[in-house]
Structure formats: C-alpha cells, structure tokens
Structure 1
Amino acid sequence: MKYEQQVGYRYPKGRFAMVSVYAFTGAAILASTIFSLLLFLSIDDNPMMQTLFGGLAIIFEAGKFYAWYEYGERRAHRNYTGAITALVFYLVLAAISIGGSIGGINSATNTAQSHISVEQAKVESYNRQIAAIDNQIELNNMAAQKYIEMERIATGVTRIQEQNKTLREEQQRLAMERDSLPPVAQGSVIGLIDSLAKAFGTTSSQAQLGLVVFLSILLDFFAAFFVGLIGEEQRFRHYYRRHGGITLATVRDIEMEPAGYLPHIKEDETSDLQHESVEPEAPKTLFEQVSDALKNHQVTCTKKAVAKQFRLSSEEVDKIFEELTELGLVGKKANNHYHWIGQAEAA
C-alpha cells in the first residue's frame, strides 16, 4: 500500500495542522452552504416553501462533501466501482452547489452595482435639469435678439432678462445640490470587474459572470480538497497505528513534542545514561496480528470478519488465509468454511 512508504518518513499531522485543516474546511463548507441558501430561498416567498428549499440546500451541501469523502475511502480500498458511483453523486451535487454559489455571489455583486447605479442616476438627473435650463436660456436669448431687431427692448428684452436671471439662480442651486452629494464609493469588487472588462476587452456584465463562475468553482474545489485531506489523514493514522508499531497514546505524545523532535535520539541518550542497552520489542507483522486475533477468538474465522477488523483488501485476506492453511493453523470444512485449528491441534 502507499502508506507503507509514508510511515518511514513522516508522522501523523500535529494538532495545530489538523485544527487549521478543520477550520478551513468548516469555513469553506459554511460559505458554500450560505450561497446555496441564497439561491434556494429566493425561489419562493412562502415561509414554508423557503424552509423546505433551505433544508434541501443544506442536504445537498452535506451530501456533496460526504460523497467526496466516500469517494476517497472507496478508492483507497480499491473498490473502484463504488468510487465511480460516489464520484458521480459528487459531480451532480457539485453542479447544483456551484449553480447556487453563482446565484448567491452574483446577487451580492448586483446589489453593490445597483447601489452605485442609483447614486449615479441622481447625479445624471441634476445634470439633465441643468442642461435643460441652459437650453431655455439659449432660447430666451434668441427671443431677445428678435425683440431688439423689432426695437421692442423696453417691453420684451427686459422681461426675458429677468427670466434668464431666475433661470441662472435655479441652475446654480441645482449645481450646488449636485456637488453636495456624497461621492459614489466604488467597491473593490466593482473595481475588479471593471479592470477585468478592460483587460479582456469585454463588457462589465460578461466580466462579472466570468468572475462569479470562477469564484464559485474555486470555493467548491477548495472545500473538496480539504475534505479529501481529512479523509487521507484519517486513513494514514489508522494504518500508522496498525502497522507503525505505535499506539494512539504514542501518536498523541508525538503531536505534543516540539518541532524537530526525534524519539529515537531521546531513547539513545537515556540508554547511554543508564549504561545499559534494551532491545526494543519488534512490532508484530500483520500475519501475526491476524493469527493472535483468531487464536484468542477476538474475531471469527472468516475472511469477511478479518477483512473488516483489519481493513484489508480481498487480495490481502486471501494471501493471509493461504499462509494460515499451509501452516495448518486454519482448516477448511466440507462447506468451504474456515475454522481455527491452532498449533496444538495441528501438531
């Protein structure tokens, strides 16, 4: 197995590393679930339907990551048919989750964009009113020119000048209100979207869609990576306890040691101080562990029970039972069922 090579050069990850992994995994799963909830809750305004759709979103998210964990478990045990089945389930649920994340992130981005659009619309409204006053003043000036040509300055031009004065005062008031508006604060996300649109020569809406899809896929794969990492570490710890010659308590002691600590150096120094050498007890092989378990009736003498107890593949179980049969420790009944004979009866 691949863990046999790892036992020789690494220990199980320490407490800090595992706490960090669990924290990253929980944060990624929580974020993905929230974005999926934003999409599913917007389907219907009925509180009952929102509760149902919200529960459906949570079930999909939990099932998705469990399917990915199960995929790693089955692949590690060489159950490739089961691994493909789990992978198909994960891909289907991941597609739903990515769609939910796209909807949630896109909704949040649109909200920020709409706020900026509202503020810009206020400024544009003031600009249109000021421009309309400019046009009215221009028309009044043209009318005043006609009155001058008709030599009706006293009656026509004076009235038009008073109107223009009123219009300019109104124009100044509108300009002051426009300038007193708070500046439109462009968020970092909107700035990023505009920069991407300019960089790729596309529209802001297309750049926004591309960014949202990228972030949704990245979030989903980020969470899946850490879920797979947790499963891989759990399998390695189990193998390390079974075949590395140490117990769970020893693993915990190793986790508490400072970085760079090497247990064999400490043992050598203790041995030199006591001026005596103690040969460490060699760890039992897998064959010896299975033999002891069958001898002490800790497990029934069947391939299925042994494989489940020691988490072995079918090839490994077949090989062990062949060796036990050759040594006369295990016999085979007429119904092809195995039974324990032991050394005394075999002799």
Structure 2
Amino acid sequence: MFYDQNLAIRYPKGPFAMWSVYSFTGASILASIVFSLLLFLSIDDDPLMQFLFGGLAIVFELGKFFAWYEVGERHARRNYSGMIFALGFYAVLAAISIGGSVGGINSATNKAQSHVALHQSKVNAFDMQIAAIDKQIALNNVAAEKYIQMERIATGVVRIQNENKRLREEQQKLAVQRDSLPLAEQGSVVGLIDSLASFLHTSPHTAQLGLVVFLSILLDFFAAFFVGLIGEENRFRHQYRHMKPITIDSFTSGEMKEPEMLSHFTPTINSEFDGTACNEPNKTAYERVIEALSTQQVMCSKRAVITQLKLKPDEVDVIFTQLFNEGIVSKKANNHFQWHGLQG
C-alpha cells in the first residue's frame, strides 16, 4: 500500500500547546537570567555597579535568545551568511550566559555544601573531645599502675578510678550529643554530588563542577530549543494564513439532483486559476502544480496537491522531486516542503 510520510498535513498548534511553549520558554529564560545575575551582581558591592552589571546580564541574556531567533529566521530565508553571523553572535553570548549560570548554580551548591561542612565540623569537635578524654583516661591508668607499684592503692588508685569514672560519664554524654545532631541538614543536592563522585570514582569537588556545567548547558539549550520552536511556529502560521484554499464550484447542490449524472461532470477550479479547468488539456500536471503553488491557492505539500488537483501520488512525487532539484521548493527540518517561487 502506497504511503508517504511527507503527505501528512500539518496544522498550527492549538492554544494549549502554545501556552505551554510560552510558559516553558519564559521559565527557562527567567532562570537563565537569575543565574547570570547571581554572578554579575557579585562582581562589585557598590549599588551603582551592581545595577550596571545586572542590566548588562539581562541585556546579554535577552540578546542571546533574540540572536538564536534570528538564526532560524535567516535560515528560513536561505540567508546563510547572515545565519552564520547570527550563530556566531549567539555562541559568544551563550558562552557568557553558560559561565554566568555555572557561577550562579555553583554558588547555590556551595551554600548547600556549607551546611554539610558546618554539620561535619560539629561532629569533628565532639570526636576531638571524646578522643581527648580517651587520652586522659589512658594517662590516669598509667598513674594508677605506679600507685599500685608503690602500694598506695587507698590514696592514689581510688582517686584515679573515681576520676576515670567521671571522665567516662562525660565521654558518654558527648557521644550522645554527637549522635543526636540532625541529619536533615544534608540536602538532596549534596547527596546527588556524593553519589556522582562515587559512581565516577572522582572527588566531590570535581563531581560538583561537572554537575553544574551540565545543568548550565542543559538550561541554555532548553531555552534555545523553545525559542526556536516559537520562531518556526510563527513562520508557519504566517504562511498558513496567507495560503488560499482551492474550492470546486463547477456545480451547486441544485445541479446534483440526479446522482447518475455526476460521472459526466469534470470539476473545475474557481476564478483563482483564471477560469481554466483543472484538467485543461493544454496544461501539463507540472504546470498546474506550479500555477497552484505560485498563486498560493494550495499548501506546499504533496497531500494538498493530490487532494486539490486530483493527481496521482506517483505523479506528484515526480513533480516535487523536479521542483526540489530546480530549487523552487526546499525541505525543512521536519521534512515539510517550503515554497520559494520561480527563480529569475
């Protein structure tokens, strides 16, 4: 059975899809701006300089996404030199943005790490006190042995034993306080970093840096994808609105009283085709397709041409291949055809 994936008709996205796209785009751009602000605002403590650097960060971020939008626009117009220039401009701004995002996210993860470091310092303090008590008990035991050798058990050894008992009780209290420290201070980000460090057999600092760089690049590409999606959708909507559909008006409902006579009618195209018949013998199928596409009376897709001009799928495949080779149409990234018009 004949099937061509290029024959699928595309329609503009609905309101829900577009609201979702705009929401994702706005959230990702806002997050990228915030992370860049965290880095640029930390450059200087002077309020005026912070205002200037903050404005610079916002300009860089918005300019970056506009440059990416221009990349799609110039590619659609086949202005490849302009596209390369816009792409280079975007790459510079994206590098600055990714650096800002790395600094902002790294600052947030360092704050989470500081809570863990504070918790660990408390644990270490208790461990040091417990270890000091162990050393004191060991010294007392040495002194007790000397008292035993001097046969002064009643005066020296008993006093040392009481002192060791007091030290052990203090040691137990310290151990209880150490073990009762809350573990909730260790956040999920720190746990993720520790897990990555164990999995990659590297240090937590290296794992943290890799995670921060990955998240920064992912955030930037995520926002760029949706900005490009909005640009592509706007271009398609503009083309879709200016596309005039072909209608068959050779006969009205009043002329269709007897069904057996339908086979004798040959549908004709309306005045958009200058009054010529759809299957006019003086025009080839190639000429009819060129005329329909150039007057924007049919969408630039195989299924639309097959449906409106009543042509065979194999014949339309050959015509579109010839149009593509002549540069009259081109294929977009989604395999849909785009009309460019007759050259010269």
TM-score, scaled relative to structure 1: 0.70
Distance 1:177 1:288, change over 3 A: closer
> How far off is 1:186 after superposition?
2.8
Deviation string 1:189-211 (CA, Å, 9 cap, x unpaired) is 22221121111111111111111
CA shift for structure 1 position 183: 2.3
Pairwise CA distance, 1:114: 1.1
When residues 178 and 282 of structure 1 are mapped into structure 2, their CA distance, relative to the original with a 3 A threshold, is: farther
| Residues in 2 aligned to 1:274 and 1:205: alpha-carbon distance in whole angstroms | 82
RMSD: 3.0
1:34-53 to 2 correspondences below 5 Å: 34-53=34-53
Number of the residue aligned with 1:67:
67
2:179 counterpart of 1:203? no
Q: 1:139 to 1:274 in 2, by over 3 A?
A: farther
Measured in 1, the distance between the counterparts of 2:115 and 2:148 equals 50
Letter in 1 for 2:128: R
Distance 1:274 1:10 in 2: 34
> CA distance change for structure 1 residues 14 and 87 in 2, over 3 Å: closer, same or farther?
same
Matched to 2:93, the amino acid is L
The answer to whether the 8 Å contact 2:116/2:185 transfers is yes
What's the offset of the Cα at 1:6? Answer: 7.6
C-alpha spacing 1:78/1:163, structure 2 compared with 1 (3 Å): same
Q: Contact (CA 8 Å) 2:294, 2:341: kept in 1 or not?
A: no
Q: Distance in 2 between matches of 1:219 and 1:60?
A: 15
Q: State the aligned residue count.
A: 269
* In structure 1, distance between residues paired with 2:245 and 2:193: 56
Structure 1, unpaired ranges of 5+: 247-263, 290-312, 320-347
- Equivalent residue, structure 2, for 1:341: none
Q: Give the secondary structure class of the aligned counterpart of 1:151.
A: coil
**Which residue number corresponds to residue 95 of structure 1?**
95
Q: Is the 8 A contact 1:119 1:184 kept in 2?
A: no
Report what 2:82 is aligned to.
Answer: 82
Question: Could you say which structure has the higher helix fraction?
Answer: 1
Evaluate the alpha carbon distance shift between residue 21 and residue 280 of structure 1 in structure 2; reply closer, same or farther with a 3 A threshold.
Answer: farther
Q: Would the aligned equivalents of 2:28 and 2:223 in 1 still touch at CA under 8 Å?
A: yes
Does the 8 Å contact 2:119/2:185 carry over to 1? no
Q: How far, CA to CA, are the matches of 2:70 and 2:196 in structure 1?
A: 38
Alignment CA distance shift 1:7-1:231 (3 Å)? farther
What fraction of aligned residue pairs are identical, expressed as a percent? 66
Is 1:224 the equivalent of 2:224? Answer: yes
Distance 1:37 1:280 in 2: 60
Q: What stretches of structure 1 move > 6 A for 4+ residues in a row?
A: 5-8, 271-280
| Deviation, structure 1 residue 283 | 5.2
Q: Which residue does 2:11 correspond to in 1?
A: 11
